[in-house]
Amino acid sequence: MKGYKFVLIVGVVFLAVSAILYLIHYQVFHDTHHIYIFLLHDFAFLPIEVFLVVVVIERFITRREKQEMLYKLNMAIGAFFSEIGNYLLGDLLKNFKNREDISRNLNINSDWTHKDFKRAADFAYTLEIDIDIEKIDLEELKKFLSSKRMYLLTLLENPNLLEHDRFTDLLWATTHLDEELEARASLKGLSKTDLEHLTVDIQRMYDHLASEWLDYVQHLKGAYPFLYSLVLRTHPFQEKPSAAFA
């Protein structure tokens, strides 16, 4: 409401200034003919001016701002995977009963095209993880997430990241799992209900993790092939990940 009031006041002020200037013009030259000519000329050019300013220039500026935001956003997402995401992708994968199916569908390589990424993304967005919760070292997972808690909170405070809904969902899912593990004094001898609840939390986080990872590495393939090369050699969905070239 305050914004509309400000626009209204500014509009009235500018109209008043324009009227005063036209009045001064008339008082000096006593010529309404030229006033009408210039007024009609200005109105005739107004649609072109609006098109140039609002449509062309504003879209160019908006696109440039969006590209800058995406650049900063992908830098933060890359840092997240280096700090947290890559470890979770690999460490949890080995405890999934259907890990071979997941690895087969997400095992990216240098020949992948947009069509391949689209197919993998469709798989990741509908990913059904079969977790063997008994094999997961929950204490170790709790320790790892606890050590990254301040880093996660720092990411959640980043306004650029909050513009990315799916990555925000990933951060919340990871933070929630951390809180669930931290809230339990001991992770030994948990009830069946507790284990089922933690299983759902891990599944939710991994679903978001796999989807965002795919989007991120596809961005790297087009924008930063040298970083994509490292991902190809180290991602956990291949048989023997290693940074060293074969």
- pLDDT at residue 37 is higher than 80: no
Measured N-to-C along each axis, helices 58-80 and 165-182 cross at an angle, to the nearest 10 degrees, of 30
Q: Do 55 and 100 reside in the same domain of the chain? A: no
* Structure token digits, residue 220: 């790297």
Range of the domain at 128: 73-234
- What mean pLDDT is predicted for residues 7-25? 78
Please, what's the b/e burial string for 156-194 (b: 16 or more CB within 10 A of its CB; e: otherwise)?
eeeeebeebeebbbbbebbbebbebbeeeeebeeeeeee
- What mean pLDDT is predicted for residues 14-25? 78
Distance CA 234, CA 238 (A): 8
Residue 170 lies inside a defined structural domain of this protein = yes
Residue 239 lies inside a defined structural domain of this protein = no
- In the chain, helix, strand, coil percent, each to 5? 80, 0, 20
Q: Do 77 and 56 reside in the same domain of the chain? A: no
Residue 38 lies inside a defined structural domain of this protein = yes
pLDDT tens-place string over residues 190-202: 899 999 999 999 9
Residue 240 lies inside a defined structural domain of this protein = no
Q: Do 165 and 189 reside in the same domain of the chain? A: yes
Q: Do 203 and 131 reside in the same domain of the chain? A: yes
Residue 84 lies inside a defined structural domain of this protein = yes
Determine the pLDDT at residue 22.
73
Q: Do 55 and 82 reside in the same domain of the chain? A: no
- pLDDT at residue 1 is higher than 60: no
CB 202 within 8 A of CB 216: no
Distance CA 25, CA 44 (A): 21
Q: Do 99 and 199 reside in the same domain of the chain? A: yes
pLDDT tens-place string over residues 70-96: 677 778 888 899 999 999 999 999 999
Q: How confident is the model at residue 165 (pLDDT cuts 50, 70, 90)?
A: confident
Q: Do 39 and 160 reside in the same domain of the chain? A: no
Residue 127 lies inside a defined structural domain of this protein = yes
Q: Do 226 and 129 reside in the same domain of the chain? A: yes
pLDDT tens-place string over residues 220-244: 998 889 999 999 999 999 988 888 8
Average pLDDT in the chain: 84
Q: Do 51 and 149 reside in the same domain of the chain? A: no
Cα–Cα nearest to 108, from 210, 246, 205: 210
Q: Do 48 and 83 reside in the same domain of the chain? A: no
Q: Do 100 and 206 reside in the same domain of the chain? A: yes
Higher pLDDT, 63 or 172: 172
In angstroms, how far is CA 51 from the centroid of its own chain?
Answer: 31
Residue 203 lies inside a defined structural domain of this protein = yes
Domain tally, the chain: 2
Q: Do 212 and 108 reside in the same domain of the chain? A: yes
Percent of the chain with pLDDT over 90: 46
Q: The tokens 């092939």 sit on which residue?
A: 225
From 33, 60, 87, the end of a domain falls on 60
Residue 134 lies inside a defined structural domain of this protein = yes
